[in-house]
A and B are shown apart, each in its own frame.
Chain A
Amino acid sequence: MNGLGAAMREAAEDVDVRTGFTGDVLRGGRRRQTRRRIGIALAAAMVVGLAGFSAGLAVQHRADVPHALDGRLLEPTKGNLANDPARLRSATAVWQTSLTLSWKYDRGVTELQGEPHVYWVATTEAGDAAVVMQAAQVRNQWRTLVGLVGRDPADGSQKLLGSTSPGDPDGDKESFQFGPGDRTFLMVDPRISVYLSPSATRNAEGVVRRTWQEVPIVDGVGLWTTPEGADPSTVRLVTSLGPPTVSDIPLERQLNTYPASAYLRDGYHARRNGEPDTNSRRWQPVFPAGSLLFGAGGTPPPETDPEPILRQAGVLDIGPRAYISSWNVRGTTGDGTGVLVCEALEGSGPGVLYAVLYRPDGTPDRVVRGSAVVATSPAPVRVHLPDGRGWVVASAEWATLRYRTSPTGEWLGAVANAALFPDDAINVQVSPTNGAQAEVVDLPR
């Protein structure tokens, strides 16, 4: 027994079935059974009829299709090309040839059920496209696989440009990104309003702001194309009952997409739209244990995870993922303020420095957004703390750091690797301990 379980039991203990419930269930069950039998008979009759002039299509429809897990599999095809049998056949054929053994293995698909169903096929700004669905056993559950078939701009041929992976966390989002420059977004009607934000802005404190527009759902899908020249990687899609008003939108409501070009190149391992490439663009210092101390050290503790704090402060955009550095620089200022500096990498932009300031009791107080990290600089960490608390500086390699307060002033300090320099410092001298030439960097204001 636990507190929440007990509270739930208390809350539900007065709930009881209404009179006549059992009879209603039996009547409803019998109705369904009759409808199902009629449906199977009709399907069998259609199969026999079709077989006469469609010998090339191997029909393997099994009578024991799992219960209507997804009514969409039974709906007529939507879209302005729905009555074009050649389009339907080609979309189905592309789907079937794309679901290779490795495709199925990656996604935990052990059995496909029945025939694929073309849910929608139509002309779009990015060429003809089709949404194909099929019931499948995915990790021992009946699920609906959904894929987008359309033209690959690289060679003009029809390919599977994206697919769901409903056995994976967040893998059931039926939203796709395709066409020239991966600029066109398609969402299968989630039966709730879809909102789109083309890009993010930040206020003076670095807090992310987005404006949202509702995407109309027509014929069972929503379509939106990023204007030419705009960056599709900043587009975000969410489901919402009304216009989203908060930046912290739960993952469940975010419709992440995979750019078709990435899907075609990397398959199951493709990065989602807006997901940063952590292999190439972050600073990868050689700190021991990933943490440098300045001053007397102290709060916050080295195992602190700054991501929830940055997210709470609203400085991280919504999206598939933000990379937060495993390294940090931390210490305590003269007035007892704890400081933790880290790097956050989002989207296609450079990694940005953030300083989390802590109250003397160890609770987070505020977040300061610094400048972009210049990984090639001898001192990549240079963050100006507010209210005259000074500068947090850290070097890329083992080095002695000094500062000066005027262009011709004396070099002061001489601290190893990480330092808190006074607010009026203007330059930092970085002298590697291996005897290499010292370098001077500015402190940006």
Chain B
Amino acid sequence: MAVHAAEQDFEEFVVLRSQSLLRTAYLLCGGDRGAAEDLLQDVLERMFVRWRRIKGPPEPYARAALANASANRWRRRSRKPEADWEQAGTSSVRGHEDAVVVQDTVLRALAELPPKMRTVLVLRFFDDLTEAQTATALGCGRGTIKSQTSRGLARMRELMVEVAR
């Protein structure tokens, strides 16, 4: 009975939070939609196994797991770090052309960043985590987050200018 209830809780969590988590995964994967779905599914399946042992709210746990899995994904699973430039765009039916260009530029620039740097930027600016929360999620010091954020923002600026050309 308890097992059944836990599974129901988990299913509810997946139904309610998958969209938001997938968007984080999408950015963590530099705009590679397929990789983002695989990453999220992998993390959620692992959470299913551990569900009753997860302490506290599951969403921060899921986001931290996504971030760590994403940072390690390049090393563990593939020789190809991220999506090709051609795959990195968003849907072309979205409407306003300028908006699509900006989205495409952001995704392309994100895809060019080293995985850990990208992860830090996504956690800080998309998930709105503080430096301390980001450091806890990634298991490193606040100094590392500070420097990765600063270098990541500088690199994003450069890349966005390059990509926009």
Residues of A participating in the B interface, judged by any CB pair closer than 8 Å: 2, 4-5, 7-18, 21-22, 24-26, 28-33, 36, 64, 67, 71, 138-141, 143, 166-167, 169, 190-193, 241, 250, 252-253
A253 to B75, CA, bound (A): 11
Q: Is the CB of B94 within 8 A of A22?
A: no
Q: Is the CB of B139 within 8 A of A26?
A: no
Residues of chain B lying within 8 A (CB to CB) of residue A16: 19, 22
Partner of B33, one of A4, A15, A253: A15
Partner of B91, one of A8, A9, A14, A252: A14
Residues of chain A lying within 8 A (CB to CB) of residue B107: 11
Q: Is the CB of B140 within 8 A of A167?
A: yes
Residues of chain A lying within 8 A (CB to CB) of residue B131: none
Q: Is the CB of A192 within 8 A of B79?
A: yes
Q: Is the CB of A12 within 8 A of B74?
A: no
Residues of chain B lying within 8 A (CB to CB) of residue A190: 75
Select from chain A the residue with minimum beta-carbon distance to B88: A11
Smallest beta-carbon distance B23→chain A, Å: 4
Smallest beta-carbon distance A34→chain B, Å: 10
Query: Total contacts A to B, CB within 8 angstroms?
Result: 134
Give chain B interface residues in 43-90, CB to chain A under 8 Å.
Answer: 44-50, 53, 68, 74-81, 90
Q: Is the CB of A22 within 8 A of B14?
A: yes
Q: Is the CB of B79 within 8 A of A4?
A: no
* B103 within 8 Å of A (CB atoms): yes
Q: Is the CB of B23 within 8 A of A15?
A: yes
Q: Is the CB of B36 within 8 A of A9?
A: no
Residues of chain A lying within 8 A (CB to CB) of residue B41: 21, 24-25, 28
| Pairs A-B, 4 closest by C-beta atoms | A29-B48, A141-B139, A11-B103, A12-B23
Q: Is the CB of B94 within 8 A of A14?
A: yes
Select from chain B the residue with minimum beta-carbon distance to A25: B44
Residues of chain B lying within 8 A (CB to CB) of residue A192: 74-75, 79, 81
A368 to B115, CA, bound (A): 35
Residues of chain A lying within 8 A (CB to CB) of residue B114: 250, 252-253
A302 to B44, CA, bound (A): 53
* B128 within 8 Å of A (CB atoms): yes
Partner of B48, one of A7, A17, A25: A25
Partner of A9, one of B45, B50, B75, B126: B126
Select from chain B the residue with minimum beta-carbon distance to A14: B91
Q: Is the CB of B81 within 8 A of A241?
A: yes
Q: Is the CB of B27 within 8 A of A8?
A: yes
Residues of chain B lying within 8 A (CB to CB) of residue A9: 126
Select from chain A the residue with minimum beta-carbon distance to B93: A14
A67 to B65, CA, bound (A): 11
Given the interface contacts A12-B126, A140-B136, A191-B78, does A25 sit within 8 Å of B14 by beta carbon? yes
Select from chain B the residue with minimum beta-carbon distance to A193: B79
Give chain B interface residues in 29-47, CB to chain A under 8 Å.
Answer: 31, 33, 36-37, 41, 44-47
Given the interface contacts A28-B45, A36-B49, A252-B114, does A241 sit within 8 Å of B80 by beta carbon? yes
A26 to B49, CA, bound (A): 10
Offer 11 A-B interface pairs, CB within 8 angstroms, sorted by A. A4-B153, A5-B125, A10-B103, A15-B19, A17-B18, A22-B18, A28-B45, A29-B46, A67-B46, A166-B139, A169-B144
Given the interface contacts A5-B126, A241-B80, A252-B116, does A29 sit within 8 Å of B139 by beta carbon? no
Q: Is the CB of A11 within 8 A of B90?
A: yes
A12 to B136, CA, bound (A): 25
Residues of chain B lying within 8 A (CB to CB) of residue A17: 18-19, 22, 37
A190 to B115, CA, bound (A): 14
Q: Is the CB of A15 within 8 A of B75?
A: no
Select from chain B the residue with minimum beta-carbon distance to A27: B45
Select from chain A the residue with minimum beta-carbon distance to B95: A14
Q: Is the CB of A252 within 8 A of B117?
A: yes
Given the interface contacts A7-B106, A14-B94, does A33 sit within 8 Å of B48 by beta carbon? yes
Q: Is the CB of B31 within 8 A of A11?
A: yes
